[in-house]
Amino acid sequence: MTQRNLLTRITIDPQVCFGKPCIRGHRLWVALILDLLAGGWTVPELLEQYPGLEAEDVLACIAYGAELARDIAFDVPDVAAS
């Protein structure tokens, strides 16, 4: 599945979840899935915890985050300086 196809799994609707990017057909925010992955959750754990979620949905969240990272940057704390 191409990145373009994956991104079709993400929807933004002002009437759903305050217009935050969500996985199509779910009220799961892309940010929530990315936060859980960053916190150490695995894809199998996500699929078990959220019935109806597919592995491609998780990949779509990652692809969405990658697209945003191409255009938007923010300061990351320099832990080496501490």
CATH number at residue 53: 1.10.10.10
- Which residue range forms the structural domain that includes residue 15? 3-71
pLDDT grade for 78, boundaries at 50, 70 and 90: confident
Give the whole-angstrom CA distance, residue 66 versus residue 71. Answer: 9
pLDDT at 6: 87
Q: Residue 11 forms beta bridges with which residues? A: 22
CA atoms within 13 A on the CB side of 37: 17
What would the DSSP string read from start to end of 3-56? HHHHHTTEE--TTSGGG--EETTS--BHHHHHHHHHTT--HHHHHHHSTT--HH
pLDDT at 23: 96
Q: Is residue 44 part of a domain?
A: yes
Q: For the chain, how many structural domains are there in total?
A: 1
Q: Is residue 35 part of a domain?
A: yes
Give the whole-angstrom CA distance, residue 71 versus residue 51. Answer: 32
> What is the tens place of the pLDDT at every residue in 15-72?
999 999 999 999 999 999 999 999 999 999 999 999 999 999 999 999 999 988 887 7
pLDDT grade for 81, boundaries at 50, 70 and 90: low
Q: Is residue 76 part of a domain?
A: no
